[in-house]
A and B are shown apart, each in its own frame.
Chain A
């Protein structure tokens, strides 16, 4: 559905669900995606799942990136996925980054988070994965 025109930029929402205030990672990723030609809608800190999904729909994004370091990912990520499904928007791929233990990461991937990036992931890998997720969703 998106990309009627080959040069149309990919629109991605970058948001931080929950209560931790550590947004350095999200900002670095936003910057890297911008430099790779994405239009990054940066929603910032302390977003509820409801706010995130609403922003994604209003902004008509092709992709959602969630950053979290609080440990509340097992509560918040599934909620985002459930709300997307409820809004018939489960086709929008969701990726995540932050401090997420391997066992949780496996579960979240089964639940529908398409990619999870831990500490030490290169920006290039994030950009390439983001592009691939959008291509495969189109």
Chain B
């Protein structure tokens, strides 16, 4: 398959940050004209660490990312940050405030920071974020950090995006029963107890260490627990946090899990993309296309139930494979 490489893709590969920023907007906007760029970049994507930083509001994710970026620059690595914040379900607007904690030399070309709004599409967001992280990898960033609130059904599913998931917590988030609940605690490859300068931090760390010791359920990796504090100068635990992340990345390579995990993520991504496209197409046509209108009329008149109608819609779709 030979296709001309679109000039935008060429520019992104050559390090043009504006071309990159524009292409990211197009992906966010579900602009179909970006498809040739995405396609052309795909073969240039390298397997870089994509580190998800998840956790409740106010635990210090943005501050940690700022310090992780500084640490990575110290180590000579280039790094891109994608910070996802929620969109308002009412106005569709959002305030993306993760840049506030972000500082760097304005002329440092080795760092790129982009804010993304969730835009209400819980499922599709993971796919868009993955497309963006791949663009960043193709643009030669050696590490990608993805910041996100939570990891439930409404928020971005961190594990569908990240190669290493860091869950950030603080002391006094609740008793140890919280750690038994499903969700955030199950996805962590690394736990970060931030604000470790506060009283109760050592207890939180011990609770987590115990939980981790009990679990050891997911494969052969035992999640790490790292204490950090972004408040003092110099901050505490940042180098340790990065080396825990690197240890997990090394484990992915040594155990062969990187390939199996990536295969799983790609499968999820394809399913999501198809679901989004088919769903959008159908919602546009359901009360417009004559055949579908008639079917809907029948359902409204209680002659056909919605489930049967859905089966018919599905049956009449052209299929392949």
Contact = CB atoms under 8 A, between A and B. Distances in A.
A9 interface: yes
B114 interface: yes
Interface stretch (B6-14, B87-95, B169-177): B87-95
Interface stretch (A31-39, A74-82, A114-122): A31-39
Given A4-B29, A50-B107, A60 B91 contact: no
Nearest to B103: A51
A34 B94 contact: yes
Contacts of A104: none
Interface of A: 1-2, 4-5, 7-9, 11, 30-31, 33-45, 48, 50-51, 54-55, 57-60, 87, 89
A37 B88 CA distance: 8
Nearest to B113: A58
Interface residues of B, number: 31
A54 B100 CA distance: 14
A40 B93 contact: yes
B91 A57 contact: no
B254 interface: no
Contact of A39 (B18, B21, B90, B94): B94
Interface in B233-276: none
A128 to B, nearest CB: 15
17 contacts: A4-B33, A5-B31, A8-B29, A9-B117, A9-B119, A11-B25, A37-B91, A39-B93, A40-B96, A41-B99, A41-B115, A42-B99, A43-B99, A58-B17, A60-B21, A60-B25, A87-B18
B151 interface: no
Nearest to B29: A8
A7 B107 CA distance: 34
Nearest to A83: B106
A42 B25 CA distance: 17
Considering the complex of A and B, which 7 residue pairs feature the smallest CB-CB distances, nearest first? A50-B106, A44-B100, A34-B93, A60-B21, A4-B31, A37-B93, A60-B25
A57 B25 CA distance: 11
A11 B21 CA distance: 12
Q: Is the interface of A mostly helix, strand, loop or mixed?
A: mixed
Contacts of A40: 93-96
Nearest to B80: A58
A5 B106 contact: no
Interface string B22-40: 1011100111010000000
A57 B17 contact: yes
A9 B17 contact: no
Given A9-B92, A57-B17, A4 B99 contact: no
Given A35-B88, A35-B91, 19 more contacts: A4-B26, A4-B29, A5-B29, A5-B31, A9-B87, A9-B94, A11-B25, A34-B88, A34-B94, A35-B90, A36-B93, A37-B92, A40-B95, A41-B115, A42-B100, A44-B97, A57-B18, A59-B114, A59-B115
Contacts of A5: 29-31
A37 B107 CA distance: 32
Contacts of A59: 21, 114-115
A58 B107 CA distance: 13
Contacts of B119: 9
Contacts of B22: 1, 60
A34 B91 CA distance: 7
Interface in B297-315: none
Contacts of A89: 18
A85 to B, nearest CB: 14
Contacts of A1: 22
A50 B103 CA distance: 12
A29 to B, nearest CB: 11
A48 B119 CA distance: 30
Contacts of A31: 95
Contact of A33 (B29, B93, B117): B93
Contact of B112 (A4, A30, A58): A58
Contacts of B26: 4
A44 B31 CA distance: 30
